[in-house]
Chains A and B, each alone.
Chain A
Amino acid sequence: MGPEGTLPHIPRLRRYARLLTGDAARADDLVQDTLERACRKWSLWRPSPDGQGLRGWLLSIMHNHFLNQIRDQLSERDLVELDDSNQPVYDPFLHTPARLDLQQALAQLPALHREVVLLVCVEELTYAEAAQVLGVPTGTVMSRLSRGRESLRSLMEGAPTGAQPEQALHLKRVK
């Protein structure tokens, strides 16, 4: 199988990227970059017997690329904080309502939490598969999942979660 074997995976990659970035055009750029990288690095891919190998490989390429994009936007310190606070990576909503719908709440999650929530809930990966895609231990997947889910719940119920949205906006503006 050559790079054309990635074709059947594209609709799911696009779905994941769109939920991850919250922006259709940016998502397709991410998928396009992922496919180009996959084609260039095709010789590195080793088929695995379970058939999930290629999808996982593509997802991990996308994850690395996504992470690089975020790194470009944020300092290292902020990146560490991504995992520790609820500071949103991007905030398309200038006026944060008290109660968010699911899509808005998802956009408010730290990127690393959003990734895990989507890989587990939407892409239906096992925790071990998600850990492999993200290159972290399974325990990290569990803690990000747990915090991601709790943040979603708080955001949708209108309860404050750690950093206030206003504060987060302020921090972003100061940067």
Chain B
Amino acid sequence: MRDSKTMHTDPPYFPTSDDLHAWVDGQLPSDRAQAVADWLQHHPVEAEKVATWRAQRLGLQALGKSTLDEPVPLPMQHTVLPVRTAWPWLQSLAACLLLALGFTGGWTLRPTATQLVGAPTISPVFVREAIAAHAVYVPEKRHAVEVGAQEQEHLVQWLSKRLGKPLKAPVLTDEGWSLVGGRLLAGEAGQPRALFMYETTSGERITLHVSALPDSGSATAPLPTTLAPNPGQSAFQFARANGIETFYWVEGPFGYALSGKLARAQMAMLADRIYPQLSH
């Protein structure tokens, strides 16, 4: 089996059992793979066995596929991402109040916004969710989204229905970003969240994470509407974790978080493009 360099028929080629496995698993160099394929044509018993292995392989992959689309459980997120308080709702409430009072280093976008002091010490919970979702799904090649952009209308309807409020997927084609699609996620307390993913032709990706926040007047944190940035003078909050830049803001019933591994100025530009499309 070692002298595979020859392509003549004179020294008959007998693949070993390991060769057959490696053939099924795509772990043979192409010339050996071809030799095995030729050999199998004349050995129906082994060919059938190998076909069974291949079917097992595909079947096992299919069995595990749905797990990949499930959101990462919160205890796992909390294990690998630092959590600052034991009570997420309290953290969220505190963050909202602090934001409203302007204590958290909120800043106003200026053309020369370069020297940003990093994230506020406490980000709203939905921002941490957004960062986690970005980190988990952006590297995915085959399972990045649940519903692709080709079914955009269905995607937006579905996510709107699950979040209980009409959503929009912003258009960023002029900026060079096309919609990949979206997925439904679970928030820290199991609330539905929407995630839209965009990419450039060179494969860079950003995500827009949308959370339906509790209505004002409900038992939970009353959300100050003054958090919404003014179109002329967009004030976004900013967080950075694990190399991921996140711009977030609250508009109407939604908390939005735009995440990407881009230069901050570029993220700010995109957030500026997205904001007016989502205001009501």
Contacts and interface: CB of A to CB of B under 8 A. Distances in A.
Does more than half of chain A's interface fall in helix, strand or loop, or is it mixed?
A: helix
Interface in B42-91: 49, 52-53, 56-57, 59-61, 63-65, 67-70, 72-73, 75-77, 79-81
B64 A19 contact: yes
A1 B56 contact: no
Interface string A122-150: 10101100000000000000100110010
Q: For chain A, which range describes its interface: under 10, 10 to 19, 20 to 34, or 35 or more residues? A: 35 or more
Contacts of A106: 60, 63
Contacts of B140: 8, 11
Contact of B77 (A7, A38, A149): A7
A150 B138 CA distance: 37
A149 B60 contact: no
Interface string A11-42: 11011101100000000100110011011000
A6 interface: yes
B64 A5 contact: no
B60 A102 contact: yes
B10 interface: no
Q: For chain B, which range describes its interface: under 10, 10 to 19, 20 to 34, or 35 or more residues? A: 35 or more
Contact of A102 (B63, B68, B241): B63
A149 B61 CA distance: 14
* Interface hub of A2, A6, A7, A36 (most chain B Cβ within 10 A): A7
In order of increasing CB-CB distance, the 8 nearest A-B pairs are A15-B67, A15-B64, A7-B135, A121-B57, A102-B59, A8-B139, A35-B79, A3-B80
21 contacts: A1-B242, A4-B242, A7-B72, A7-B242, A8-B136, A8-B140, A10-B80, A11-B68, A11-B72, A11-B143, A18-B67, A35-B80, A102-B56, A102-B60, A121-B60, A124-B25, A126-B27, A146-B17, A146-B21, A153-B49, A153-B52
Interface of A: 1-8, 10-12, 14-16, 18-19, 28, 31-32, 35-36, 38-39, 102-103, 106, 117-118, 120-122, 124, 126-127, 142, 145-146, 149, 152-153
